[in-house]
Amino acid sequence: MKGYLLKFYIEENENYKGKLLYEWLLTEAQSIGLKGATVSHGVESFDRHGKLHAAHFFELADRPIQIEFVVNIEQEQSFLSTISQENISIFYTKTPIEFGYVGHKENNNV
């Protein structure tokens, strides 16, 4: 199948509507039928303003987070439209990809 790899980049301590922002993104993704996501914690990053974000020994709240979704074209449009209607701004990247399953296991519904 053809689609996109959507990656969102945030800080661990970012909140939206009473939830951690990455949890809110996961909830929204599930609500529109996305089938999976991966949340990764980064060790260190810097943002567009040059501010350094890192996991420190005493403070982990500033850790960079990356949330990835593999989506088809319709899901990409729906998900980005849902987010754009909210009062938030999230940096993301969108990369065209081909995806699917290999092997013989049954029930690989995308």
**Residue 2 Cα distances to 26, 76, 82, angstroms:** 22, 11, 21
Q: How far apart are CA 15 and CA 37, in angstroms?
A: 19
pLDDT, residue 110, reads 55
Q: Is the pLDDT of residue 95 over 70?
A: yes
pLDDT, residue 49, reads 74
What 3-state DSSP class applies to 87?
A: coil
Which residue type sits at 87?
N
pLDDT, mean of residues 52-72 = 75
pLDDT digits (tens, 9 = 90+) for 20-48: 999 999 999 999 999 889 998 766 666 66
Model confidence, pTM: 0.80
pLDDT digits (tens, 9 = 90+) for 1-24: 999 999 999 988 899 999 999 999
Structural domains present in the chain: 2-98 (3.30.70.120)
Q: Average pLDDT over the chain, rounded to whole?
A: 87
Which residue type sits at 33?
G
